[in-house]
Structure 1
Amino acid sequence: MLESHRPVHRRRPVAVELARAHEHTMAGDTPAEAPRPEIGDSWERLRRLGLDPERGRTAARLSLAEVEHRRRETHLAEVLPILRSTLLLPTTGTPLILAVADAEGHVLWQEGERKLRRIADGIGFDTGARWIEDEVGTNGIGMTLRTGRPMQVHSAEHYLRSHHAWTCVAAPVHDPRTGRLTGVVDLSGPARSMAPYLLQLAATAARLAEAELRARQLETLHLLRTVAAPLLARVDEPAMVVDDAGWTAATIGLPPVPRLRLPAEGWGSATVHWLPTLGECAVEPLAGGWLVRPLSGSADAVAEQTGNAGIRLDLSRPDRPELLVSGAAGSWSHTLSPRHAELLLLLAVHREGLSAAQLAEALFGDQARTVTVRAEVSRLRRYLGGLLDHRPYRITRSAQVSVTGPADPYDLLPTSSAPAVRELRAGLLDGTARLPAA
């Protein structure tokens, strides 16, 4: 039987399609095949910032002394052995560079095949360099810092043409003590040889790193609990011992809470602070933590705080939404989960309040998901207490509410797919919407 000689239409390689899309976009044209939405958004944002795709900007660079200081401050040195053993596997057969950056994008470690590292040095990807999008264009570290989730940037998805021979995958690492982003794990290598499983491998390594940081935190809390036990045995009033991040090591005469929300300005040198649910407390330093004792009359202080509250939702950093509450009795802050940031943003914009069904529609595009909404609001009330009303859900009318948004509307909760958040983001871009100001 003779083979058919009909022409076979083959799809062009992905790298070729990406290169064409990049060329058309940088020329100001609409590409026939658009890149992924997150890549397209990044390109558009950088074009509006005026970043040259041929040269970029001169990246900020740390001194060796500053690199060493940040290595110690981030605690990432504690998890480097796990990252090496998980990611630099000699059996993969794929030439790779492992880079670990801090929460500001500075590369603190860069290890891997020597020849590949020399090539990377030629594009400025070395220890001390700052790899954020605004300086070196679309890249794995920069996108992970901006979106807060694992990201891959392949070949011509990079904004700078000099990076098109590379593919990088990156995943965020969070500090379990504060919940804040502490760094990024990145794997980079030649675009032609990168395997698709590496993104999942990087994400798994980041979770292992977080688990190691959590284990070390629990060990520290255990040591603090050992130190605190004889001290609490001599205290004849309610008291608790917490570590420097507010995590509880031991309590006496108080309901156990996993963590105290620390004052927005930190403990400082003052000996009396207002704390959520406890009111005014005497605070004394211990080795590795603090002794906290509620003072009499604290319930009155709590009521005063609720009646004269100022609530600020800080969304200026895409990776770290934060709630700040201030009043006559003091102030405190709380790092928000993505879902709670969405909820508070909607309640700040709609001061008249929203029903559970309306919130379900706004968050999920499905009015039937009221059970999920009620559960999330219940969790949020643990921090806001009397500042959050229900029927409808709203921030109490007596509170002053403001939202600090990012410099670029694209960065307003960039990982959120909630219909109402996407609509608000679009409104900020075209000038038809505004965020509540103080």
Structure 2
Amino acid sequence: MTSNLLAGYSLSQRRSILEDNWNHFTEYDVTPVESEVSADISLSWRRSANSVHHRVAHAPYAREERVQEAWHESPLFFAAQKEQDNMVQLTREGDLVAAISDPHGCLLWSFASRHMRDRAESVNFQAGGRWDEKSIGTNAIGLSKTLRRPVTVFSSEHYQSFLHDWVCYAAPIIHPQSGECVGILDMSTTWNRHTSLGQAAVTELARNIAGSLPAILPKEELEIYALGQMRVTFRGKSLHLSKRQMEILCLLALNPQGLNLESFHAALYGDAPISSSTLKSELSHLRHVLGGHIGSRPYRLLVPVWADFIQVWQALHQQRINEAFTLYQGPLLAQSESPELEEWRHCIEAVMGKVLDACEDPKLLLQKLCAGSAGNEMVRERLVELIST
């Protein structure tokens, strides 16, 4: 991330400048110098400061057998095989360590050169290590996951001091069909071996792996993912919707019988002073995006729909706990102020909380903990309770 800001400096000068900024930030909460530390890194440091201490010894580690199982079950396992020989060769020739994580930052596969093997193992940069920002602070895997684009994190741009001798190149592996991030590829080495070619190579490898991912069979013509990260696919193609369009789509999915204009306005805006013509305009635009498949009088969807929040609600009420834990990736449209969606969000959270409190299976909780960050604090507390009793 330093290439543009500090392009005229040597690697050792870059490291020194970044180290000064890191020390001032971590010890005295001094905002980094804009001309020396990129906005992406500054914001990541701030997020990291709210979730993890800056002087831990290594990344947290998941159980090896669970990680091996997840790797062999992952679509990345087969998609990466065509590139693994190339990655291993690059790793050996460039004194690198290569790793592939799941979409949540848990490493599923790694291979290290002699130069990096001991360094990687000592900090759990190996299968099972958790490298999301909340677990370990600013690093290339966590930042690429957050930004959904290739990143380089050089030396003291890392939040943890034990990574200041590293430079890491990462790129998300984006499914070309759904637009979903299915994992992150990372290659890392020591800071003095940094080269701009490293990022280009990792980006190209990630793109090649993505191109080998298996095709996704749609669950329905319209698929809505609104628990955690928002995503919508229509007839196999990803749609890019605004927050308001997403709210409208979710309300349509929750009301298959349809809504008249007045009811829709109340469900979406509540008492907010927003005109009915604004809602009509929003509905008209969304109808165009969906190829005309929104009916009126009442307003309703005219295509089969699958929604994760509806499925998780049904799974919870039918005591299909494993399915509910898999589906739940975070609150329903967490930023939405729609009265109806807020009510649904609170209901799902309340029932998930009760199910979690009643869960007596540490293995199930651990699997959820390994699967992602959504709800991890509650899961972790319950797991500690079970282990302590």
Task: Bin the TM-score by the shorter chain.
Answer: 0.5 to 0.7
Higher strand proportion (structure 1 or 2):
1
Gaps of 5+ in 2: 1-7, 249-267, 302-308, 310-327, 344-389
- SS at 2:290's partner residue? helix
Higher relative contact order (CA 8 A, sep 6+): 2
- SS at 1:209's partner residue? helix
Of 226, 230, 234 in structure 2, the residue corresponding to residue 314 of structure 1 is 226
Of 372, 385, 393 in structure 1, the residue corresponding to residue 294 of structure 2 is 385
**TM-score scaled to structure 1, two decimals?**
0.53
Using the TM superposition, give the Cα deviation of residue 87 of structure 1 relative to its aligned residue in structure 2, in angstroms. Answer: 3.5
Q: Give the match for residue 184 of structure 1.
A: 184
Which has the larger Rg? 1
One-letter identity of the residue aligned with 2:38: R
**Which stretch of the first structure deviates more once superposed, 14-23 or 338-347?**
338-347
Q: Give the match for residue 146 of structure 1.
A: 146
Residues 343 and 208 of structure 1: CA distance in aligned 2, closer, same or farther (over 3 Å): farther
Aligned counterparts of 2:176 and 2:297: Cα–Cα separation in 1: 27
Using the TM superposition, give the Cα deviation of residue 156 of structure 1 relative to its aligned residue in structure 2, in angstroms. Answer: 0.7
Aligned counterparts of 2:20 and 2:297: Cα–Cα separation in 1: 51
One-letter identity of the residue aligned with 1:43: W
CA contact (8 A) 1:131 1:142 kept: yes
Of 47, 50, 67 in structure 2, the residue corresponding to residue 48 of structure 1 is 50
Of 240, 245, 267 in structure 2, the residue corresponding to residue 339 of structure 1 is 240
CA contact (8 A) 1:106 1:131 kept: yes
Q: Give the match for residue 32 of structure 2.
A: 31
Q: Percent identity?
A: 21
**TM-score scaled to structure 2, two decimals?**
0.59
Using the TM superposition, give the Cα deviation of residue 123 of structure 1 relative to its aligned residue in structure 2, in angstroms. Answer: 1.5
Q: Give the match for residue 111 of structure 1.
A: 111
Residues 70 and 379 of structure 1: CA distance in aligned 2, closer, same or farther (over 3 Å): farther
Residues 1:261 and 2:222 aligned together: yes
Higher helix proportion (structure 1 or 2):
2
Aligned counterparts of 2:58 and 2:96: Cα–Cα separation in 1: 25
Using the TM superposition, give the Cα deviation of residue 162 of structure 1 relative to its aligned residue in structure 2, in angstroms. Answer: 0.8
Using the TM superposition, give the Cα deviation of residue 56 of structure 1 relative to its aligned residue in structure 2, in angstroms. Answer: 6.7
**Which stretch of the first structure deviates more once superposed, 68-77 or 88-97?**
88-97
Q: Deviation string for 1:257-283 (max 9, x for gaps)?
A: xx7336x7xxxxxxxxxxxxxxxxxxx
CA contact (8 A) 2:97 2:187 kept: yes
- SS at 2:40's partner residue? helix
Residues 435 and 144 of structure 1: CA distance in aligned 2, closer, same or farther (over 3 Å): farther
Q: Deviation string for 1:308-335 (max 9, x for gaps)?
A: xxxxx82623xxx1359xxxxxxxx999
One-letter identity of the residue aligned with 1:207: R
Gaps of 5+ in 1: 1-9, 218-243, 248-258, 265-312, 325-332, 360-373, 396-401, 413-427
**What's the Cα RMSD here?**
4.3
Q: Deviation string for 1:100-129 (max 9, x for gaps)?
A: 111121111111303312111112211111
Q: Give the match for residue 329 of structure 1.
A: none
One-letter identity of the residue aligned with 2:221: L
Aligned counterparts of 2:105 and 2:186: Cα–Cα separation in 1: 11
Residues 71 and 16 of structure 1: CA distance in aligned 2, closer, same or farther (over 3 Å): same
Q: Give the match for residue 134 of structure 2.
A: 134
- SS at 1:152's partner residue? strand
Residues 1:246 and 2:246 aligned together: no
Q: Deviation string for 1:25-61 (max 9, x for gaps)?
A: 1121233455211111111112123x21111786141
One-letter identity of the residue aligned with 2:69: H
- SS at 1:186's partner residue? strand
CA contact (8 A) 1:110 1:127 kept: yes
Residues 405 and 105 of structure 1: CA distance in aligned 2, closer, same or farther (over 3 Å): closer
Aligned counterparts of 2:145 and 2:76: Cα–Cα separation in 1: 16
One-letter identity of the residue aligned with 1:170: A
Aligned counterparts of 2:40 and 2:239: Cα–Cα separation in 1: 18
Residues 1:155 and 2:155 aligned together: yes
CA contact (8 A) 1:323 1:335 kept: no
Aligned counterparts of 2:297 and 2:106: Cα–Cα separation in 1: 39
Residues 354 and 133 of structure 1: CA distance in aligned 2, closer, same or farther (over 3 Å): farther
Q: Deviation string for 1:140-192 (max 9, x for gaps)?
A: 11112222221221111100011111111111113456542221111111111
CA contact (8 A) 2:178 2:237 kept: no
Aligned counterparts of 1:16 and 1:154: Cα–Cα separation in 2: 11
